[in-house]
Each structure stands twice: as C-alpha cells, then as structure tokens.
Amino acid sequence: MTTSYQTDHIATPHNTPARGLVAYVWAGLRIALGWVFLWAFLDKTFGLGFATEREGAWLEGGSPTEGFLAFGTKGPFADFYQGMAGSAFADWLFMIGLAGIGAALILGIGMRIAAAAGALLLVLMWTAALPPENNPFMDDHLVYAGLLIGLALARAENTLGFGKAWGRTALVTKNPWLK
C-alpha cells in the first residue's frame, strides 16, 4: 500500500523519485504546447515561411483565418465557419487567442484562462473539419484540448514558470480565477 499526499501542484506516491519528475514532465508539456500556439501566431503574423508565406502574412494584409475557414472547413458546421472567413473579427479574435494562450502557457501565468480558452479554440477548430480525416471522431485538436485541461488540473504553471509568483500577486489573490 502506498501513501499519497498533496503537494502544491500534484498528488504522487510518497518518497518516490518520480514525484518531482512528474512536475517537470507537465511543465515541459506546458511549455511545448505554449510554443505551438505562439509559433502559429508568429508565423501567421510575419509570414515566416512555414505555414504562411511572407506575402500572406497578417502584417502584409493577409487574413490568418481566410484560407482555412473558406477552403478547409467541412461537415455540418462548414457554412457557419465559411461565413466568417476573412472577417476582421475572426482574424483578431483568433490571433489574440493564439498569442495570449501561447504566452500564458510558456510563462505559466493565467493557466485557468489559457486552458479554458485554448480548449475552446481547439474544440471549435475540431468542429470546423468534421469528421476528421484519419479517425471517425478523434484528432489532435481534441488531444491538445485534453492536455490543456490536464495542465491546469496538474497546476503545471508552478514548475518552470511564474505560476507561484503570479498566484501571490494582489490581483490574483483578489481574483483567484486569474491563476
């Protein structure tokens, strides 16, 4: 029988070397997923030549949402998403989301908001292309959404991040939902 106790971020078996390693695994996944979001923002903004060429960059007048929403959507919600393709509202909301979620995950601040907003964004992206190409219902968007929820529940912001310091600020002390 093993004894478990609650640390300030995760419950693990008492006196095991894995206890500390688990926190670092969660932190590494948090930073990696943050980079996925932040990189998408940077590439779409500046056209760094990966998913977005320079001439299609947001700063060059391109729309970060138009290509996917106009041509990549399918399934029962396609008409809804195609109607938003290229709109300034969709572009700004999407780009602010990518930048904010990415920065929050990398820094380890605002994890509750970042996890909720990121999971919502990913589920919406999943609904834009139903059914997924390689599986009847599951794809990377749902896996990442689940990972975001796991990161928040594991309090991954407290390892290799500013989560503890952020949680002690007067703003967050008064408004714990900002953790």
pLDDT value for 20? 84
pLDDT, position 4: 52
Distance CA 2, CA 87 (A): 56
Q: What is the pLDDT of residues 76-115, one digit of tens each?
A: 999 999 999 999 999 999 999 999 999 999 999 999 999 9
pLDDT digits (tens, 9 = 90+) for 62-82: 999 999 999 999 999 999 999
Task: Report the phi/psi class of residue 176: left, alpha or beta, with left for phi > 0 and alpha for psi in -120 to 50.
Answer: alpha
Predicted local confidence at residue 57, as pLDDT: 96
pLDDT tens for residues 50-62? 999 999 999 999 9
Helices (H), the chain: 18-46, 66-67, 78-82, 88-107, 111-127, 140-153, 163-167, 170-174
| Beta carbons of 29 and 143 less than 8 angstroms apart | no
pLDDT tens, residue by residue, 5-41: 455 555 555 556 667 899 999 999 999 999 999 999 9
**Residue among 63, 92, 68 at smallest CA distance from 141:** 68
CA angle centred on 175, ends 171 and 179, rounded to 5°:
85
Distance CA 81, CA 79 (A): 6
Candidates 154, 45, 35; CA nearest to 105 is 35
